[in-house]
Amino acid sequence: MAFGNIYCNEVTKIDGNSFGVILGQNYDEESEALVQLMIVITDMGKLSFIEVISLGGPIGINKISILKRYAYDVVKVLKDKGIEIAIEEEIPHFFREYSD
């Protein structure tokens, strides 16, 4: 998984734990649209809380599956690095009441 236009920043909080954000975008050739990823990492001592948010993407019926694929690519990279992952919540898309 390769992304261009990447921005990342880390802040160490007063309690010594860290908070970081990674932003990136990629042109998805299959859908001919830009897909953005936002990864928010919160250090909680022995554990880290990671939120992966994919946005943008094509207009149309395959939008959710394409965005989901990019989010799960991040999960796969973390698992391949030996990081234990537990998905606590998955939101297929926001504002469902406005789009269905």
Three-state DSSP at 65 gives helix
- Give the whole-angstrom CA distance, residue 62 versus residue 23: 23
pLDDT at 1: 52
| Residue 26, C-beta contacts closer than 8 angstroms, at least 6 positions apart | 2, 3, 4, 34, 35, 37, 70
41-60 pLDDT, tens digit per residue, is 888 878 888 888 888 777 76
pLDDT of residue 94: 56
Range of the domain at 51: 4-99
Enter the pTM of the model.
Answer: 0.71
Low-confidence ranges of the chain (pLDDT < 70): 1-4, 60-62, 92-100
Q: How many domains does the chain have?
A: 1
Sign of CA dihedral 40, 5, 66, 77: negative
What is the pLDDT at residue 35?
Answer: 84
